[in-house]
Chain A
C-alpha cells in the first residue's frame, strides 16, 4: 500500500514521550523529597491514573460521566479487602466471605483483580447507562455514583460502613505508581489512536454522521466505559495501598470535581492534557491546602485558618477554564500536535498515481455485497411517512440499480430528504418496505445499513471538526469494520481521487465549506458502498467544482459499479450524470424518466423546473 500514516513518526514519538517525560519528572522530584512529599506525589500519580480513565471515556466520547469515581471506589475497596490481614478483616468486615477475608494477596495481584472487577462492573452497569441518551448519561452516571456511595456506606459487614477501612497495607511506592501511570498513558493513547478510538471520537464530533458510517454509538461508548472503569479501578487500588485508609467519601463528590477539573483544565480530548491538568491542579491544590492551616505571604500578609480554600481554588480554576478556554491548556491536542512542535512534519498524502480503481473491497461484508448480487438494487416500495398530521410521503416507489445514477429532484418540501432518511435507516416509514439486494431492511438501523453497503451524505456537511481530513475519511472505512492500516490506505486513495490530498492533514473544522462537503462525500465513499445516497453534494460548489464532482462521481460508478442516488438542485449536475431522473412533489412521484423526458413533461415544469428553465433549455 501507499505507506501513509495518520501522523508522522516524529509527531507520534513526541506525543508519547512528552507525557511520559512529565511523569518521570514528577517521580524524580517526589523521590528526592521528604517522605511526606513522596506520599503526596504518589497520591498525585494515583489520581493521574483515574484522570486518564476519565479521559478514555469523556475525552473520546465527548460525553461527561460523573460516575467514574464510583469505579475508583470499588477498585479501592476490592484491593483493600483482598490485602487486609485476616485479623484486621475479622474486626472491620465480619461479614466478608472467608475466601476474601483470609486472602492476603500481593499488591500486583490485588490491583489486577480490582481492575478486572471494575472492568466487569463497568461493562454490566454501562449496558443500561449507555443506552440512555447523550443528555441523560451525565445524570444517570451521577446516580450510579450515589448508588455506589450508598451501598458502601451502609453495607457495614462487608465494607466497614461509613467509618471505612484502616490498616490497609501501604505497598504503593512512588516508583510503582509512576510505572502504572506511564502504562496508563500508553493505554490511553493506544486506545485513542485505535480504530475503536477513532470510531468513538467520530461519535463525539458528530453523532448522526458517525451512525451513517456504520458506527454503533452505544457499542463504542460501552467499550470505552469499561476500559475507563479498568483504569479508574487501578487508580483507586493503588491509592488505597498508598494511604492505607479508605471510606465511602474518599472517591465521592469532591474527588469527582477535582478529577474532572484536572481533565478539563488540561483539555479533555488530549491524553497529554490529562497528565498536564492532573499535575497542575494537584500542585495548586497542595499549595492551597498548606495555606488553609494559616500562612504568611512574603511576610506581609498573614492568612488565618481558612477551611475549604483548596476546594474553592479548584472550583475557580474549573470555572475560569470553562469560561476562558473550554478546550483546556492543550487545546485538546496531543504533545506532537502542539504548535511548539509545528516544525514536525505533518503526515502527507502523496499524490498517488491516478488510481484506476480504489481498492475498496476489503471488509468481509463489502466483499459479499460486491460479488454476491451483481445485478442487485436498492428498492423502496409504497413508502409513506407522516410527521404528526403532515403527510410527507405517500406511497413512494424507488429503484436504484447498482452501477447507475438516479437523480431525485423536486421542489423544497417535496419529501426528498425524508425519502433518503427512510432509505438510510434514519427514519422508520409508517408504511412500505425498503429492500437492499432483495433483502428486506425496513426499520434497520443506519449502522446496520452502512455495514451492508449503503452510505449517505447530508445536506449539512456534518464534518468531524477536530479530526484531520485523512482521519475523517479513514473513520469512514473503520466504521464498517476495516482495520486501521487498510482504512488509512483507503482514505488516502479516496482523497487523492477527489483531489483533496493537499488538505488531508488539516483539521476538518478548519476547511472551507465546499471542502467540508466534499470531505463528506469522501467519508461516505471510504465505507466502500454499493449504494451511495448524496443529499445536495454540489450545493455551495462553484460551477467548475460542480463539473469536477460530476466527473468524479461518474468515475466512481464506472470503477466499482456502485449505484448513486443524487438529490440536487443544480440541474446541470443531475442532467449530465443521471440517465434516469425521478421527480417527486408533495410526497408522491410525479414522473420517472430520462432527463429529456423530464424536461419535456409539462407537469414537472409546472411543479419544479419552472417555465423559465424550459425557455432556457430550448434556447
Chain B
C-alpha cells in the first residue's frame, strides 16, 4: 500500500513534468500551427544558464534561466521561424530541426560535448516524510510549479486581453488578424510563454540530474511531441492530459516492469502513441471531424 502510494506520487510528479513540456510545445502549435523541435534546446539553454551563473545566488541563477528561456525563444522565432510562417507543418518542423542542431552544437563548441555538473541547493535533494511515504522535495516542487503554471496560464488565457487574442488566433489565425489581432505580437507572446515553460522544465531537470549536456533537450522534446499527439493536436488540456498519461505510464512501467524488460521501458512508452493513434487517429481529445472540408 505504501509502495503503491509512493509510486503514484512519483508517477504524478513525472507526469507533471511531461505536462509542462507538452504545454510548451502546444502553446506555439495552437497559435502558429508549428511543432517546434527546438523547444528541447530552449530547455537545454535555460539549464546551461544555471551552469554559467553557478557563482551567483541561486535565486539570481533561476531568474537568469527564466530570462534565457524567454529570450532565446523570442530570438529564434524572429530570426528563423518568422520567414517560414506560411510554410506547411513539415517544412516548419524541418526548420526547427535545423535550429535545434545549430543550438546544440554551438553549446558543444562553446562549452563541451560532455555533461557538466551543476550544484543545486541541498534542500532540493532531501525528502519529506508523509506518514510512511517519503516524498522527495523535488517532487513537491514539480507538482507545485505545475499547479502554479497551469493557474497562471489559465489566468493569462481567460482573464487578459492578450490571452483573448491568443485564443482567437488559435481558433482561426487569419480571421483573428482581420479583426485586428496583431499576428507578430501574438506569436512572439506565445514563444515567450513557451520559452518560460522550457526554462521551468530545464531548471527541474537540472535539479533532478545535477548536470547539463548539449543533448539533454532531445528526449524531453520528443516526449512533449508524443504527449501532444496523444492528447490531440492543438488542445492545451489535451497536452496536459497527454503529458500526465505519458509520465504516469513511464513511471509505473519503471516500477512494475519485470527486470529483464526494464531497459526497454522507453521503447514501450514511445510505442504508446502509435497504439492510441490506431484507434483515435486524431488523439484523445482531437476534433471529432476526421476530414478536411471539401
Contacts and interface: CB of A to CB of B under 8 A. Distances in A.
Given A129-B274, A131-B281, A154-B264, A322 B113 contact: no
Interface string B275-294: 10110011100000001101
Contact of A318 (B98, B218, B226, B292): B98
A138 B90 contact: yes
Q: From DSSP, what is the main secondary structure of chain A's interface residues?
A: helix
B264 A257 contact: no
Q: From DSSP, what is the main secondary structure of chain B's interface residues?
A: helix
Contacts of A133: 281-282
B273 A140 contact: yes
A143 B273 contact: yes
A59 B21 CA distance: 31
B41 to A, nearest CB: 11
Contacts of B116: none
B229 A312 contact: no
Nearest to B110: A308
B101 interface: yes
A316 B102 contact: yes
Given A63-B90, A133-B282, A312-B105, A257 B97 contact: yes
Given A132-B274, A427-B291, A311 B94 contact: no
A142 B215 CA distance: 16
A516 B91 CA distance: 26
Interface stretch (A145-153, A579-587, A588-596): A145-153
Nearest to A141: B274
Contact of A314 (B99, B101, B222, B233): B101
Given A132-B277, A309-B109, A261 B93 contact: no
Contacts of B106: 308, 312
Given A63-B90, A314-B101, A319 B95 contact: yes
A128 B267 CA distance: 16
Contact of B278 (A131, A147, A308): A131
A253 B218 contact: yes
B104 to A, nearest CB: 7
A5 interface: no
A435 interface: no
A257 B93 CA distance: 11
Contact of B101 (A135, A138, A142, A257): A257
A151 B265 CA distance: 9
Contact of A308 (B98, B105, B273): B105
A417 B229 CA distance: 31
B109 A306 contact: yes
A150 B270 CA distance: 10
Nearest to B234: A135
A150 B108 contact: no
Interface string A418-449: 00010000110000000000000000000000
Interface string A313-324: 011101100110
A175 interface: no
Interface of B: 35, 80, 83-84, 87, 89-91, 93-95, 97-102, 104-106, 108-109, 113, 214-215, 218, 222, 225-226, 228-229, 233, 263-264, 266-267, 270-271, 273-275, 277-278, 281-283, 291-292, 294
28 contacts: A133-B282, A136-B233, A136-B281, A138-B35, A138-B93, A139-B225, A140-B229, A140-B274, A140-B277, A142-B222, A143-B226, A150-B270, A151-B267, A208-B291, A208-B292, A308-B109, A311-B105, A312-B109, A315-B101, A315-B102, A318-B94, A318-B95, A318-B97, A319-B99, A322-B94, A323-B95, A421-B294, A427-B291
Given A308-B109, A458-B294, 5 more contacts: A129-B274, A150-B270, A253-B218, A316-B102, A318-B97
Interface of A: 62-64, 128-129, 131-133, 135-136, 138-140, 142-144, 146-147, 150-151, 154-155, 207-208, 253-254, 257, 260-261, 264, 306-309, 311-312, 314-316, 318-319, 322-323, 326, 417, 421, 426-427, 458
